[in-house]
Structure 1
Amino acid sequence: MPVTDQHTADPSGRHILTFNFRQGRKKARHDEADALIPRYALDWSRGSGAVDVEALFGRKAPLVVEIGSGNGEATLAMAEADPDRDVLAVEVFPQGVADLMLGLERRGLENVRVYNGDALPLLWEGLAADSVDEFRVYFPDPWTKKRHHKRRIIQDEHVRTMCGLLRPGGTLHTATDIADYAEQMLEVLDGVEVLENRFDGFAPRPDHRPVTKFERRGRKAGRDIYDLLFTKK
């Protein structure tokens, strides 16, 4: 049966988007990635039910869901360092998906699959309760204008949906270089009863999270980096 959250799922299929779609320029190498779609891509749409994760990866293993994998820089490094866990990378931009698939092919990694689409419908309908070992949300669209804060992915209703999919003991790991978003993240996560902060406030930067171009860009601009690590009770 499809898994939905009554507080967030919109039966009309319409909802507030949490990403700002920017159509990037297609590069020649992205044409090469088209041939990799059958191997690495998750073909899923609303109404098709929950994903058979074991069939998708060809094995039963702990599942990590990364929301907003970008060009796959962190995804590739973390998947290569942790081959015993499977990663479902969710990214709306086709160019990022192409870069990630090309990276998977180049490194010979078999523990990553990619979904090119909006994360929220997939969370509402595409994943089973208690099936996810970890959610990663690294440097999501910050939506810096106050009137756009409702578009941020880390807010109460979306986090509660993620919690319904996390197994007990599972991890929710976020990172941002936007100070007011970091404070909002901390407030939201602290307010979800089934989550427990592993640290007193923000977490020390974990060694296992690679430094990506987004983090380098933030540091170059003089911004601090904020990590949060929460566990589902």
Structure 2
Amino acid sequence: MPIRQFQAHRMHAPRDFKAIADEPLCVEIGAGKGKHALLFSREHPNQKLIAVERTREKFLAMQKQHAIEGQQNLEPINADALPWVVHSLFPKQVEQFFILYPNPEPHNPAQRWLNMPFFEFLLSRLKTDGTVTLASNIPSYIDEAEQQLLQVWTLPFVKEKIPATSARTHFEVKYLERGELCQQLVITKPADYQTRFDTFMPLQGQNPSKED
């Protein structure tokens, strides 16, 4: 399906927005209660991870567990991912994006990640040779994303079956225990890849003017 251009300059700043530094980092979108974020930050102490979760209850659960474990390289954020990314992230800043078991949006396919204009902006924040990992237990979701990568985004990727022993998220544990097929696409950004947002700088908490 055709993708219209994302209107980044129209995005309002998240509530209680705090700017971040222009330094290498990883970002998990829809981090839930933080199972993957906590695991990743323990296993990769030299990589900073920002874990973004919109739902307050899930964010508080992640924050509570993070306070117990205390990883210095993990920062939980309670925000909607789209405005947070636009206001916070710099071009080619992110080493890895994780989007693990997102809402499949069965009644609104335009809101699936690789169908959204926002995905182009997300790619502009990704470093050369950086990756986006998209996981799902719904074969049709993965199949559609694969076709979008081939036909719209023209990006290289690897399609992987997630082993039954994997336990990165609470959803992943539940799906694998049921015997469901869980798959992921690991998408790589080539050196020559360009987007319309490659020079767009973060808004740093500014809000759109009325004439916009």
Give the structure-1-normalised TM-score. 0.70
Which region of structure 1 is more displaced relative to structure 2, 85-94 or 151-160? Answer: 151-160
Return the letter of the residue paired with 1:192.
Answer: W
The answer to whether the aligner puts 1:66 opposite 2:23 as a matched pair is: no
> Which secondary structure state, in structure 1, belongs to the residue aligned with residue 148 of structure 2?
helix
Change (3 A) 1:172 1:139: same
Counterpart for residue 112 of structure 2: 152
Percent identical pairs in the alignment equals: 23
Question: Is 1:164 equivalent to 2:124 in the alignment?
Answer: yes
Cα gap change, 1:174/1:67 in structure 2, threshold over 3 Å: closer, same or farther? same
Q: Distance in 2 between matches of 1:125 and 1:7?
A: 18
User: What is the alpha-carbon distance in structure 2 between the residues aligned to residue 43 and residue 183 of structure 1?
Assistant: 37
Give the Cα–Cα distance (whole angstroms) in 1 for the partners of residues 164 and 71 of structure 2: 21
Separation in 1 of the partners of 2:175 and 2:165? Answer: 19
SS at match of 1:115: strand
1:93 paired with 2:55, answer: yes
Question: 1:149-208 deviations in whole A, cap 9, x for unaligned?
Answer: 112233252321111000101111110001111112212233313x321x3xx2243799
Aligned-partner Cα distance in 2 for 1:206–1:157: 31
Q: Aligned partner of 1:53: which letter? A: A
- Normalised by the length of structure 2, the TM-score is 0.77
Alpha-carbon distance in structure 1 between the residues aligned to 2:117 and 2:47: 27
For 2:153, the equivalent position in structure 1 comes to 192
The number of residues matched between the two structures is: 184
**Closer, same or farther: CA 188–158 of 1 in aligned 2, 3 Å:** farther
Matched, 1:44 2:17: yes
Equivalent residue number for residue 213 of structure 1: 170
Q: What's the CA shift for 1:81?
A: 0.4
Structure 2 gap segments, 5+ residues each? 191-212
CA–CA distance in 1 between the matches of 2:94 and 2:172?
26
1:213 deviates by 1.8
Partners of 1:209 and 1:121 lie apart in 2 by 31
The amino acid across from 2:7 in the alignment is A
8 Å contact 1:63–1:86 — kept in the other structure? yes
Check whether the contact 2:27–2:94 (CA below 8 A) recurs between aligned residues.
yes
Greater relative contact order (CA < 8 Å, ≥ 6 in sequence) = 2
Residue 107 of structure 1, aligned match among 39, 54, 69: 69
Secondary structure of the residue aligned to 1:224 is coil
Contact 1:156 1:189 in 2 (8 A): no
- Which amino acid counterpart does residue 69 of structure 1 have in structure 2? A
